[in-house]
Amino acid sequence: MAQERGSAMTTAALVLLMVLIGHSEFARAATYTVGGTGGWTFNTAGWPRGKSFRAGDTLVFNYGSGAHNVVAVNKAGYQSCRTPKGSKVFTSGKDQIKLAKGQNYFICNYPQHCESGMKIAVSAA
Ligand SMILES: [Cu+2]
């Protein structure tokens, strides 16, 4: 009898532990709306400043589909506002992109948009 109760308590403790671990995994991945309420638009380059991102966090790009896009580029593409061949282009207007560890660069490649600050560089730990 006592042994049975003990094993039931062990099971309860294990379940609790699994729930706690599950929760902390869940809490660790954050979701950020790029540009806040203004969304993904011109002069967003300063938006990442002061925030700390982690690999696995999700960036949400909200914008009018057809008015802008989101292109995942490399550092050179970010700096020059040019789109390297084979870059992934997102066009839904509500794109969710998971951050990779290290530097992540995104631009809008509509003519002159990136040049007008529609670009972000995000460093994920
Ligand atoms: Cu744009």
Q: What percent of the chain has pLDDT over 70?
A: 78
Residue 80 CA, ligand 1 centroid: distance in Å: 15
> What is the domain partition of the chain in residue ranges?
30-124
CA gap 102, 88 in Å, rounded? 18
Distance (Å) from CA 119 to ligand 1 centroid: 9
Taking CA atoms, 21 is separated from 14, 52, 114, 124, in Å, by 10, 22, 41, 22
Return the CATH fold of 30-124.
Immunoglobulin-like (2.60.40)
For the chain, give the mean pLDDT. Answer: 89
Q: Cα(41)–Cα(39) distance, rounded to whole angstroms?
A: 6
Question: Rounded to the nearest 10 degrees, how much is the dihedral formed by the CA atoms of 6, 8, 9, 13?
Answer: 140
The pLDDT of 106-120, averaged and rounded, is: 98
**Measured in angstroms, how far is the CA atom of residue 33 from the centroid of ligand 1?**
16
Q: How far apart are CA 63 and CA 71, in angstroms?
A: 13
pLDDT over threshold 80, residue 28: no
Q: 2 pLDDT band (50/70/90 cuts)?
A: low
Report CA(54)–ligand 1 centroid distance (Å).
25
